Amino acid sequence: MRRTLISTMVAATMSIAGPALAQDAPKDANGEESAAKLDRFSGMMAGLFQTDPLTAEQEARLPAATAVVGTMMPEGFYGEMMADMMDKMIRPMMSMFTAPEFVLGSRLDIEQEAIEALDEGEQAELMAMLDPAYDRRVDAIVTVLTANMGDMYAAMEGPMRDGLSKAYAVRFDERQLADIAAFFATPTGSVYARESMALFADPQVIQASMEAVPAMMGSFGDFESSMVEAMATLPAERAYADLSRSERARMAQLLGVQPAALGKIVKPPSPMDGSGDESGM
């Protein structure tokens, strides 16, 4: 359980910077470059968020907007900020998953009450037997993650700066951009420009966000029931057995396979409540 949770969290964290991995992606079992898959996925995601081209007036404001954004996001800033934020977010989570109660509960087939009955010294003694480096494991994991994440997010800095510059050119007119630049030129403005983006990685903001998690999670129950109710108004998805002979023949023709092979190709629908067989997912 512990390995699964940590692996899932690490995988989710690494997936955020997936496009940055494309440069050194290894070949998969089919011999196709993972980078090509990432490129296709990136292209698909980019296609979902189409933006209108800048107007001539907005293009004229782009240099001023770029200068403003450059003050807010100087070279190297984004990678450093994200690495710092990942450290602040990951370390507490990893500490939770490597806490003695959690580790012993996953490594020993005994009741949780028996583990909780042990004092700190006894838990530490057991931990040392099972994992001599448990007190250093979190630091090692976080160090590797933050070091790599810093490099990955640094690769995103240029596109982020370009996108933010265009957004400023769209949202602010020439006079407003000049006012912002003038403010950034003041002592207070220069501090604000440097700190405004970093505020989102501030421990106060992260803590407040974490405090909202229970309320967010509580809303999932309503979301799930509403989704099940909405799906109930639609025709059910169809399995192989629901297809007519003519539909099977046409599907086989479209897929370039023999009709007899469709029974193994067509996966059964997955129920909305997740209670069915997950092998078809």
Model pLDDT for residues 130-171, shown as the tens digit of each residue: 888 877 877 787 777 777 776 777 778 888 899 999 999 999
> How does pLDDT run across 43-61, given as a tens digit for each residue?
776 667 778 899 999 999 9
pLDDT of residue 32: 57
> How does pLDDT run across 51-106, given as a tens digit for each residue?
889 999 999 999 999 999 999 988 888 777 777 777 777 777 777 777 888 888 88
pLDDT of residue 30: 52
Torsion on CA atoms 167, 173, 178, 179, rounded to nearest 10: -100
The rounded radius of gyration (Å) of the Cα atoms in the chain is 26
pLDDT of residue 1 exceeding 60: no
pLDDT of residue 136: 82
CA distance 10 to 34: 19
pLDDT of residue 3 exceeding 50: no
> How does pLDDT run across 245-267, given as a tens digit for each residue?
999 999 999 999 998 899 999 98
Lowest mean pLDDT among 23-32, 37-46, 209-218, 238-247: 23-32
Tokens representing 134 are: 């448990």
Q: Is the dihedral of CA 16, 20, 24, 28 positive or negative?
A: positive
pLDDT of residue 168: 97
Tell me the β-bridge partners of 260. Answer: none
pLDDT of residue 28: 52
Lowest mean pLDDT among 16-20, 145-149, 207-211: 16-20
**Residue 243: which residues within 8 A CB-CB, separation 6 or more?**
251, 262, 266
Beta carbons of 153 and 78 less than 8 angstroms apart? yes
Considering only residues 42 and 212, tell me which one the structure prediction assigns the higher pLDDT: 212
Considering only residues 143 and 241, tell me which one the structure prediction assigns the higher pLDDT: 241
Tokens representing 258 are: 């023999």
